[in-house]
Amino acid sequence: MAADPAKLPARATAPARRAARTRALRPWLLLAPALLVLAVLLFWPLVRVVTLSFQDYGLRELNTGATDYTGLDNYREILGDSFLWRQVLPNTVLFAGTCVVLTLVVGTLVALLLQRLGRTWRLICSSVIMTAWAMPAVTGTYVWIWIFDPLDGVVSGGLDGAGLIEPRETNWFTDRWSFYAIATLNVVHHGFPFVAITVYAALLTIPRELPEAALMDGAGAWQRFWRITVPTIRPVFLIVVILSTIWDFKVFAQVYLMPGGSGSNPDVLNLGVWSYVESFRRNDYGMGSAVAVLLTLLLLAVTVVYVKVLSRERDEL
């Protein structure tokens, strides 16, 4: 008996469908070991922190293994505390915003400088700024502490020699604004090389004909930058801005290691350090976890904005 023609296509495509499913599943099988490691190292600690944030968890619970769920009490206490709204959150947001802007400006200026230098000086300058990027945050922080030391620091010594301050009466780390001014210098010094090298690499992709044509049309340096450079490498600017924002919102070492930043001066705490102080200095792990969750949600919001902006830019291109 002859086979039914209507059934031939279905029989013929069944192996093809199985092969397609196998091809679709193969990348996930290859990624499975790495995804499992990430789940253990990242996802489980995040779940644990979220779980602790709903508990009254201190040394007693840590020793006994007991759990004391209190629901949203930790979040209510944090959000109802004026200390969050008057000190911690402004410190976190204003500090991160200032660092991002200054890092972007300094990094872009350095990238434009590298573009105009000859090969030898470009190599020298690139090596110098990469040294600043390679310096650990802890080492860099102690260098800035030494520079602004009230008695033996370079800044205090220079201003004392000029008769502008009295070192024994001036402590740059006790005032909230001078404290964060030093921390900003530290973060910008450590972060601008990434922006500089990234933007410089993007500048190399701009066709020479574009700025040359604008120059022949009488456009100045500022007009060429805003009308040609910025629109051409806008996706790169978006990437460095969002990455810098994420990094600067969760700055820890540059604040914690400075005098008063570990909790002795509450006026200078940010969300990251406040979470650490609540957890490991006051042994209130539930409250510290709640602060960490709030910081994570803030960073998640920034990441969502980042993805939406990049998607919009890609659609426009």
Let me know the angle formed at the C-alpha of 76 by 72 and 79, rounded to the nearest 5 degrees.
Answer: 135
Same domain, 92 and 201: yes
63: in domain = no
61: CB partners within 8 A, 6+ apart:
55, 67, 68, 285
Number of domains in the chain: 2
Same domain, 133 and 280: yes
Predicted confidence at residue 243, as pLDDT, reads 87
64: in domain = no
Model pLDDT for residues 287-304, shown as the tens digit of each residue: 999 999 999 898 888 878
> Which residue do the tokens 């199985």 mark?
18
Low-confidence residues of the chain, pLDDT below 50?
Answer: 1-3, 5-8
CA distance 241 to 68: 41
Q: Which residues pair with 69 in a beta bridge?
A: 55
Predicted confidence at residue 5, as pLDDT, reads 47
140: in domain = yes
68: in domain = no
59: in domain = no
CA distance 125 to 164: 34
Model pLDDT for residues 144-194, shown as the tens digit of each residue: 999 998 888 888 888 888 877 887 778 889 999 999 999 999 999 999 999
Same domain, 145 and 104: yes
Same domain, 42 and 130: no
Q: Dmax of the chain from CA atoms?
A: 110
Same domain, 118 and 166: yes
Same domain, 289 and 193: yes
Q: Please, are residues 152 and 106 in contact by the beta-carbon 8 Å criterion?
A: no
Dihedral, 19, 21, 26, 27 alpha carbons, nearest 10: 130
60: in domain = no
Same domain, 140 and 172: yes
Neighbours of 144 (CB within 10 A): 21
Strands (E), 133-230: none
Predicted confidence at residue 17, as pLDDT, reads 76
CA distance 275 to 287: 8
Same domain, 134 and 250: yes
Same domain, 142 and 31: no
Same domain, 48 and 77: no
Residue 162: which CATH number?
1.10.3720.10
Predicted confidence at residue 317, as pLDDT, reads 58
CA distance 148 to 24: 58
Same domain, 42 and 80: no
Predicted confidence at residue 314, as pLDDT, reads 63
**What is the pTM assigned to this prediction?**
0.82
Same domain, 38 and 93: no
The range of the structural domain enclosing residue 45 comes to 5-52
Q: For 236-279, give the DSSP string.
A: HHHHHHHHHHHHHHT--HHHHTSTTTTTTSGGG--HHHHHHIII
